[in-house]
Amino acid sequence: MPIQVFVADEQSDRPVDPGRWGALAERVLADRGIGGSVELNILFVDSGTIASLNERFLHKSGPTDVLSFPIEDELGMPAAPPPGPDITGPGRDPFSGDDDGAPLMLGDIVICPDVAWANAPEHAGSYDGELALLVVHGILHLLGMDHEVEAEAEAMEALEVELLERHHVTASAGEEEGR
């Protein structure tokens, strides 16, 4: 079974193309050496929903642009998966493509398009670019990267740029979502 990315647009504030962002996520996961039966969920939600999640899980008030919720949090892998303990059951290598049919659940990425829209001019420059950045950023968090320490933040940002250059297909002039 290949990488499966499930995308749901649960908001109506800004336009979102679920298929496009799911395809970007699949390309980024494959680039990072993730294969086999792997599942990832991406949810696009309104600012009230993400504010509630931000308060509940991070104890921060107000809406944010992206939250990542790893399920298999033992992965801790900023690059290709390292050798390590069997986290998925006896004899199963979740990244080899050989599995017993049970997918490895990476986790959930929750993105707020309304916050992305507001942040786009200062961050990625466009709404389209901001959504792409948030998808990649969320995936890297699920794969164990973080930005709490300056050196880690720099490494994460450099990898985001590299992955976006390789895998983000920008919208044509006039076709860009919402701008």
Query: Each residue of 107-127: pLDDT tens digit?
Result: 999 999 999 999 999 988 999
What pLDDT does 35 receive? Answer: 78
* Tokens matching residue 155: 């490494």
Contacts of 129 (CB under 8 A, 6+ apart): 120, 123, 164, 168, 170
Q: Which residue has the tokens 């992206």?
A: 66
The answer as to whether 175 is a domain residue is no
At 9, which CATH number? 3.40.390.30
The answer as to whether 159 is a domain residue is yes
Percent of the chain residues topping a pLDDT of 70? 76
Per-residue pLDDT, averaged over 85-93, amounts to 40
The answer as to whether 174 is a domain residue is no
Instruction: Using pLDDT thresholds of 50, 70 and 90, give the confidence band for residue 68.
Output: very high
Percent of the chain residues topping a pLDDT of 90? 61
* Residue 74, pLDDT above cutoff 80: no
pLDDT in tens, 28-50: 999 998 877 889 999 999 999 99
The answer as to whether 54 is a domain residue is yes
Q: Which residue has the tokens 């990832």?
A: 40
The answer as to whether 113 is a domain residue is yes
The answer as to whether 178 is a domain residue is no
pLDDT in tens, 124-158: 899 999 999 999 999 999 998 888 888 888 999 99
Q: Which residue has the tokens 């450099």?
A: 158
* Residue 99, pLDDT above cutoff 60: no
* Domain ranges, residue 22: 4-84+93-167
The answer as to whether 147 is a domain residue is yes
